[in-house]
């Protein structure tokens, strides 16, 4: 790739209204294809398609975000029809080979947008400026605000910082806990467990300075794979009493050597006081691995939680089918009506013995809406304030 969104914006501003060799901007949106962003080989193949087309047409390809790519090129009138079609055909060939079941659901008209820079340069610049602003807010743009994206060496950097600091100092600096709390009518809040997790914001401002750490980054799974063994190894420092706790782990980490060592260190208790939280997106990507992880955790007396469930998915998601002990729905104000419409889905899961938790509750509104749809377990900054 020739660069990121910031690089492309700088290039277009430098071109201004001057007539040059590059006359066309192609904006490619991969989000509707549903491709796994953490599949490095697949993403490299897609990047190479765009780079090759840009090179042949005398331009360059720019990675705007994990699912957005821009190509600037010099195209004739005929090329402006042919090249977008060529891009689509290449992408659909990959989709047909890797995920044929997703073909029918894709809207082809949304994949490639063409902008004539000879007549619409101001519009192209405005689009990229708006994109950059959204990316800054969401933290998905490489290079936004002077920050760089994760790279393969960052995981080793974190390991080196841990090795130098030691378990206790590292845990004290980067690990935070947050309560999972039952809140019922007429009763004081009751903490049923405490989730412990790595503070990515502090990690980014200290151990990985000037690195933009976000879940949407293709290399984020690699970083979490490096963090999982550290979290397991530091367990006695952030949870010295061995109380009921929840740990965010990847499917790959469950059953790995660090996990087995963790179980052995717990002695007879094994995983009796441990909730293993697995991200819904990871689970859906590999249901077989999820089944294996579920079996391994429960065999040691542990509990399974399905984490980061978007309210919008409730209408199409059979929560009971995952056979999880806990389902954690992410609160956001825009999902308020969705929660209300899917109250029956929440109740169905609860009737099946699954504890539904509304997490990231940062206001009284989240608590109120959650209780209105029958949720009694909550997590978030507002809940922590109630416990003080």
The whole-number pLDDT of residue 31 equals 78
Domain boundary among 146, 173, 207: 146
Q: Are residues 280 and 371 in the same domain?
A: yes
Q: Are residues 254 and 321 in the same domain?
A: yes
CA-CA distance, 366 to 361, in Å (whole number)?
5
- On the question of pLDDT at 146 being above 60, the answer is no
Q: Are residues 81 and 193 in the same domain?
A: no
Lowest-confidence range among 1-10, 224-233, 246-255? Answer: 1-10
Q: Are residues 255 and 164 in the same domain?
A: yes
Q: Are residues 66 and 185 in the same domain?
A: no
Q: Are residues 132 and 165 in the same domain?
A: no
Regarding predicted confidence, which is higher, 319 or 96? 319
Domain boundary among 126, 146, 166: 146
Pairing of strands 190-198, 60-65: unpaired
Q: State the residue range of the domain holding 60.
A: 3-146
Lowest-confidence range among 27-41, 142-156, 222-236? Answer: 142-156
CA-CA distance, 306 to 322, in Å (whole number)?
8
> For position 124, which CATH number holds?
3.30.70.270
Per-residue pLDDT tens digits for 235-262:
999 999 999 999 999 999 998 999 999 9
Q: In what order do the strands lie in the sheet with 112-116?
A: 3-4, 60-65, 68-73, 24-29, 112-116
> How much is the mean pLDDT over the chain?
86
The whole-number pLDDT of residue 140 equals 44
DSSP 3-state percent helix, strand, coil across the chain (nearest 5): 50, 20, 30
Per-residue pLDDT tens digits for 151-185:
777 888 899 899 999 999 999 999 999 999 999 87
Q: Are residues 132 and 160 in the same domain?
A: no
This model's pTM is above 0.75: no
Q: Are residues 229 and 323 in the same domain?
A: yes
Count of domains forming the chain? 2
Q: Are residues 222 and 84 in the same domain?
A: no
Q: Are residues 45 and 121 in the same domain?
A: yes
- On the question of pLDDT at 347 being above 80, the answer is yes
**Contact predicate 173/202, CB 8 Å:** yes
- On the question of pLDDT at 142 being above 50, the answer is no
Q: Are residues 113 and 183 in the same domain?
A: no
Beta partners for 29?
68
CA-CA distance, 293 to 260, in Å (whole number)?
12
Q: Are residues 142 and 206 in the same domain?
A: no
Domain boundary among 114, 146, 178: 146
First to last CA, the chain: 50
> For position 284, which CATH number holds?
3.20.20.450
């Amino acid at each position: 790739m020739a660069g990121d969104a910031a690089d492309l914006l700088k290039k277009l501003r430098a071109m201004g209204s001057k007539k040059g060799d590059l006359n066309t901007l192609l904006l490619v949106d991969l989000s509707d294809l549903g491709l796994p962003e953490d599949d490095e080989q697949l993403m490299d193949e897609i990047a190479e398609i765009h780079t090759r087309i840009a090179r042949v047409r005398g331009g360059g390809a720019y990675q705007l975000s994990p699912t957005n790519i821009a190509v600037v090129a010099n195209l004739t009138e005929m090329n402006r029809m042919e090249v977008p079609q060529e891009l689509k055909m290449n992408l659909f060939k990959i989709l047909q080979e890797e995920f044929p079941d997703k073909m029918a659901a894709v809207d082809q008209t949304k994949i490639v947008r063409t902008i004539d820079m000879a007549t619409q340069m101001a519009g192209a610049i405005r689009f990229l400026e708006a994109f950059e602003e959204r990316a800054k807010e969401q933290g998905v743009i490489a290079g936004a605000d002077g920050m760089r994206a994760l790279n393969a060496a960052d995981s080793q950097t974190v390991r080196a910082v841990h090795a130098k600091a030691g378990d206790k100092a590292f845990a004290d600096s980067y690990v935070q806990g947050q309560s999972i709390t039952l809140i019922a009518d007429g009763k004081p809040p009751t903490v049923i467990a405490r989730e412990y997790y790595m503070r990515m914001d502090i990690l980014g401002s200290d151990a990985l300075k000037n690195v933009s750490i976000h879940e949407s980054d293709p290399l984020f799974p690699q970083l979490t794979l490096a963090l999982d063994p550290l979290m397991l190894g530091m367990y006695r420092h952030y949870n010295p009493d061995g109380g009921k706790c929840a740990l965010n782990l990847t499917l790959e980490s469950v059953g790995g050597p660090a996990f087995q060592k963790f179980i052995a260190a717990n002695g007879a208790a094994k995983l009796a006081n441990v909730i293993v939280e697995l991200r819904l997106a990871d689970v859906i990507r590999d249901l077989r691995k999820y089944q294996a992880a579920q079996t391994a955790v429960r065999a040691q007396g542990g509990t399974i939680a399905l984490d980061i469930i978007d309210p919008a998915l409730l209408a199409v998601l059979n929560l009971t089918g995952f056979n999880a002990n806990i389902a954690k729905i992410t609160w956001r104000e825009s999902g308020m009506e969705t929660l209300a419409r899917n109250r029956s889905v929440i109740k169905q899961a609860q009737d099946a013995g699954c504890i539904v938790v509304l997490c990231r509750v940062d206001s009284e509104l989240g608590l109120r809406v959650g209780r209105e749809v029958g949720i009694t377990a909550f997590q978030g900054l507002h809940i922590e304030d109630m416990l003080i």
